[in-house]
Structure 1
Amino acid sequence: MRLSALYRYPLKSARAQALETSSVGLLGLSGDRRWMLVEGDNGRFLTQRAYPQMSQLSALYNEEGSLILGVAGRDSLTVPVPDADSNLRGVTIWRDTFRVPDAGDEAAQWLSEFIGKNVRLVHVPEQRTRFLPGGYGHNDDRVAFADGFPLLLIGQASLDDLVQKVGRPLEMLRFRPNLVVEGAEPFAEDGWKRIRIGELELRVIKPCERCILTTIDPQTGERSPDREPLTTLKTYRQKEGDVLFGQNLVADGAGVLEAGMPVTVLE
């Protein structure tokens, strides 16, 4: 087995950034989901679930940590990392409410014009990140703006199996993985507890519950009228009301991942 692809999402629910290599630490891939859009009046997080046009928003992370925003037909905007303790804004993501720095009025105006409503851009410094959902992981495990866990892994064979059942091609990026593994049987990742990629060990925490976001074409931003692939997934990947596809992971320690590295199941 090998690591066939690496993706990060610098801005939650915006376009993916494909990588050949990445450092990995407590919060997952370097720069992954450290930025987020929230409603201007109440701080509630925004995603493609309600705003599918976010799939067309390019948000590139550079090594200084800045965010480069881009969308077809508009000039790009570079947003510097705000000070970790200034201009704090209360935000809510699922059941978590906490305070993080706001990225300023210029970014807010640029993004509000694109989204079509009053939004703010926020950044999460490492010292303001969240704990994992209750009952999962270790006490020192943390997550930035991902829904619940730092890393998501999907087996290529699992997608291939789904494509065969749906009967048409499906992009892996519908499922927004960080790590794609080739060479395993379909859904082999369901049985893994610990794996090693290169020299880095990772814990498999729990399956990923899928939602309407998987029905949005990442290239066009359009929803599938037949609600695929969610409709097919419900026929064979549903458990206790949740549709499961992919596995959430946490890295034990820090390291570097590179596409092509061998993947070993430890447990």
Structure 2
Amino acid sequence: MTDDTPRLARLTTYPLKSLDPTDHESRAVEYGTLAGDREYAMVAKPADAAHDPETASVGGQGDYVNGKRTAAVHRLRSSVDREASTVTLREQGGDDARTFSLDAPGELNAYLSDYFDEPVSLRHEPRGGYPDDREYDGPTLVSTATLREVASWFGITVDGARRRFRANLEVDGVPAFWEDRLYADRGEAVAFRVGEVELLGLNPCRRCVVPSRDPDTGEETPGFREAFLRERERTLPPWLDSDRYEGNFRLMVNTRIPESEWGAGLSVGDRVEVLGTRQC
């Protein structure tokens, strides 16, 4: 591969939805997404009047405890050990790390309830996890150059932008906003291959309040949305022409992985190749 060959530069999962990432050299595809991605979620039982359909968990079991609900999630550091089936948590800036069982989460639920000051319990879904987008439930994708460009708008590091936008797949060897080539109009998908795995690019990812906050403290960046909209308009690729692109508060691509690809794997360094537009 030459230096300008699109390639998979990072491969990331979020074992416990809304908390810290885990980077991998390779990862299997299971049930349409990366193995172990958002396999666990924190859920709070809502008061009826406060129930938000956009944050509601699958099966009507309550609302996700995520960045849309509370900035407190940003101040909670986490590390999941899948082999031991444990999670280690600590508050940002603190040294008191505690390890909990994921199989018998009673003590974990008590810790989370105390931390968030409301009843919180763990949910587990090994068959595809709890994707941020239930319709386009494959791994999300962005380019390194895009993260570098967006980081320059706010005077933050590329890793800071990476942690704010929380993509699964990061592609290098391409210009900023290259990923906007990976979706077309409604009723269409853009097929592309990463290594030996074929994915379908479907939708530009609509952003929420989470990227506007410092990923360590939860402190909101003043004027983030307004600046993002202005800069996204200024740098919008002239070739971008999709009726799925509704407004400039969008970044990354939502995908789907066909069932025929389940069981295959992705690896850092895999070549990325655009195959063309297909009818859905």
* TM-score for both structures, normalised by structure 2: 0.73
For structure 2, which runs of at least 5 residues remain unmatched after alignment?
1-5, 48-61, 183-189, 234-244
Q: CA deviation at 1:242?
A: 5.7
> Hey, what does 2:68 align to over in structure 1?
49
Q: Match of 1:266, SS? A: strand
> Hey, what does 1:231 align to over in structure 2?
226
> Hey, what does 1:147 align to over in structure 2?
132
Checking the alignment, whether the CA contact within 8 Å between 1:10 and 1:33 is kept in structure 2 is yes
Aligned residue identity for 1:78: F
Structure 1 residues 54 and 159, CA gap change in structure 2 (3 angstroms): same
Identity of aligned residues (%): 29
- Post-superposition, which runs of at least 4 consecutive aligned residues in structure 1 deviate over 6 A? none
Q: Distance in 1 between matches of 2:231 and 2:96?
A: 43
> Hey, what does 1:113 align to over in structure 2?
114
Aligned residue identity for 2:96: R
1:176-197 CA-partner distances (Å, limit 9, x unpaired): 0000000112212111212111
For structure 1, which runs of at least 5 residues remain unmatched after alignment?
82-102, 127-142
Q: Distance in 1 between matches of 2:106 and 2:227?
A: 43
Q: Distance in 2 between matches of 1:125 and 1:164?
A: 38
Checking the alignment, whether the CA contact within 8 Å between 1:26 and 1:250 is kept in structure 2 is no
Checking the alignment, whether the CA contact within 8 Å between 2:36 and 2:129 is kept in structure 1 is no
- Name the one with the larger helix percent: 2
Equivalent in 177, 199, 221 of residue 202 of structure 1: 199
Aligned residue identity for 2:149: D
Checking the alignment, whether the CA contact within 8 Å between 1:10 and 1:35 is kept in structure 2 is yes
User: Any residues of structure 2 matched to 1:112-261 within 5 Å, and which?
Assistant: 112-126=113-127, 143-148=128-133, 149-170=137-158, 171=160, 172-192=162-182, 193-224=190-221, 226-228=222-224, 230-237=225-232, 239-241=245-247, 243-252=249-258, 253=261, 254-261=263-270
Checking the alignment, whether the CA contact within 8 Å between 1:31 and 1:61 is kept in structure 2 is no
User: Any residues of structure 2 matched to 1:8-157 within 5 Å, and which?
Assistant: 8-40=13-45, 43-64=62-83, 66-71=85-90, 72-81=94-103, 104-126=105-127, 143-148=128-133, 149-157=137-145
* TM-score for both structures, normalised by structure 1: 0.77
> Hey, what does 2:186 align to over in structure 1?
none
Checking the alignment, whether the CA contact within 8 Å between 1:237 and 1:245 is kept in structure 2 is no
Checking the alignment, whether the CA contact within 8 Å between 2:146 and 2:176 is kept in structure 1 is yes
- Name the one with the larger strand percent: 1
Checking the alignment, whether the CA contact within 8 Å between 1:59 and 1:67 is kept in structure 2 is no
Q: CA deviation at 1:168?
A: 4.5
